[in-house]
Structure 1
Amino acid sequence: MSAVPINIANEYLWLGFLLVDLIVAVLVYRLFGRIGLFALIVMNIIVCNLQVMKFVNLFGLTTTLGNILYASVFFATDILGEKYGKREARRGVWLGFAMLVLATAYMQIALLFAPAESDTIQPALNKIFGLYPRVVGASLIAYLVSQLHDVWAYDFWKRTTQGRHLWLRNNASTMVSQAIDTTLFCSVAFWGLVSLSDFAQILFTTYLLKFIVAAADTPFIYLARMMTPPDLEPASASTPAPSVAEAPNGETE
């Protein structure tokens, strides 16, 4: 595994992006609750499948982009599992899966349109989205298996510890699920496309970076647990009770 020169700018960008992404996830949850987390899952899963096609040097090793956005999907489903329960976390997983399938299908349809003579973008789209189906296929398999495991494992540890040790269920569920995800994704997406040494390096660095994100999100899930988003706010005591329904003839029902 050959070392590559460290690009200081990339390291600062990556760490800064990690911080911004986690802050955004918590803010989206605080402002929009469950619906916001659903939207965040959909956006992150689609965008990270575009970013993952770019190879960069981080901390002296070659890896792909998309690790931060993808890892924060696990963070979002953990918040869903913590605040709304296992059923809502699973709904978030399936929503992300369905939207990624649709996004892939829609872009393949877009490529079928004959470009105008003045168009200059078609070659770039072909290059990006020509590889996209394999990357998305790998992502779909890895995403579904690892995310459903994460939801199950989070709920398992929550019940086992009787709601205590939030840090344990957050990290134990995510770090194992990330190992499952990384192995499945890299095997399907990159096997045969890169050399064996590059494949091993991608596998190692991808999991390492996801591991870092999983550890880094721990204080943020504690912060999220203390928050009360709009859809979990108790009904105001000043809100009048609903009146008894009246029938058309004025009699109560």
Structure 2
Amino acid sequence: MFNLGWGVLFVIVNFALFLICYRAFGRNGLYAWIGIATVLANIQVTKTIDMFGIVMTLGNTMYGTLYLTTDLLNEKYGEQEAGKAVWFGFFTLIMTTIVMQMALVFEQQPEDIAHEHLQVIFGLLPRLALASLVAYFTSQFLDVRLFSMIKKVFPKPNQLWIRNNGSTGISQLVDSFVFCTIAFLGVYSTPVWWEILLTTFLIKFVISVASTPIIYIARSFKFKEEN
């Protein structure tokens, strides 16, 4: 029960920080969020937790906000801006992987207390980064394209929830399968791998549905420089 209560608070805090970031910094805040969320999601995913008696990884909430961000960019600024944000997140993850792998090569001095902990977290990053890059590239561009396609069928402002959840649901299914296959197949036992795959998708989809009011609130924000 502790993880469930803490998880709800965790989701609320993530959404609140997302809105603050956009309200304070406008479109630039969305690009900043993409960069931050991409890195944090790939760090958090190294931690597995138990909820409802099943195994799942952290990072799903933060990663789910990436879809929220690109859908918001697509809704307010167009498909080209959303695609640009996807490429920005792509670069951020590659940059983090390269820099941290180089940092781990340095020989630590005898009293160093950080290297082993960094090794545990970022030593896993190359495989996770590969999984995330392939899943990210596939699912995010799929999401951007699907959102635009659905928008042509459901273009009304009050149909945003259809565009958001429709494109995200399909994209997250693809993302979860690609990521879990590359990152965890062979690392965990097959039953645990299936649990991670199913719970990863379900949690992401729940986060997507929960984010629907958030994208409506964010869409209502007005900025002088964008008038």
TM-score tier after normalising by the smaller chain length: over 0.9
Q: Which has the larger radius of gyration?
A: 1
Distance in 2 (CA, whole Å) between partners of 1:231 and 1:73 is 24
Instruction: Give the aligned residue type for 2:73.
Output: L
TM-score w.r.t. structure 2 length?
Answer: 0.96
Over aligned residue pairs, what C-alpha RMSD do you find?
Answer: 1.1
Q: Which residue of 1 aligns with 2:49?
A: 56
Distance change >3 Å, CA 230–CA 69, structure 1 → 2: farther
Q: Does 2:216 correspond to 1:222? A: yes
What residue in structure 2 maps to residue 132 of structure 1?
A: 125
Which of residues 128, 147, 171 is equivalent to 1:177?
Answer: 171
Aligned to 1:202: 196
Is 1:30 the counterpart of 2:1 in the alignment? no
Shift in Å at residue 179 of structure 1? 0.3
Of 79, 94, 108 in structure 1, the residue corresponding to residue 72 of structure 2 is 79
Secondary structure of 1:184's aligned partner: helix
Structure 1 residue matching 2:164: 3-state secondary structure: helix
Return closer, same or farther for 1:160/1:64 CA change in 2, 3 Å cut-off.
same
2:131/2:178 contact within 8 Å kept: yes
Distance apart, 1:42 and its partner CA = 0.5
Cα deviation for residue 230 of structure 1 reads 4.5
Higher helix share: 2
TM-fit CA distance, 1:21: 1.1
Q: 1:138 touches 1:185 (CA, 8 Å); kept in 2?
A: yes
Question: What does residue 238 of structure 1 align with?
Answer: none
- TM-score normalized with structure 1 length: 0.87
Deviations 1:56-114, CA, capped at 9 Å, x for gaps: 01122110000000000100111101111101000110000001100000000001111
**Unpaired runs of at least 5, structure 1:** 1-7, 235-253
Q: 1:157-201 deviations in whole A, cap 9, x for unaligned?
A: 112223441110000000110000000000000000110100010
Question: Does the 8 A contact of 1:28 with 1:37 survive in 2?
Answer: yes
Q: Map 1:1-253 to 2 at 5 A.
A: 8-164=1-157, 165-232=159-226, 234=227
Provide the rounded CA distance (Å) in 2 between the counterparts of 1:220 and 1:162: 19
Q: How many percent of aligned residue pairs carry the same amino acid?
A: 40
Task: Please name the residue that 1:239 is paired with.
Answer: none
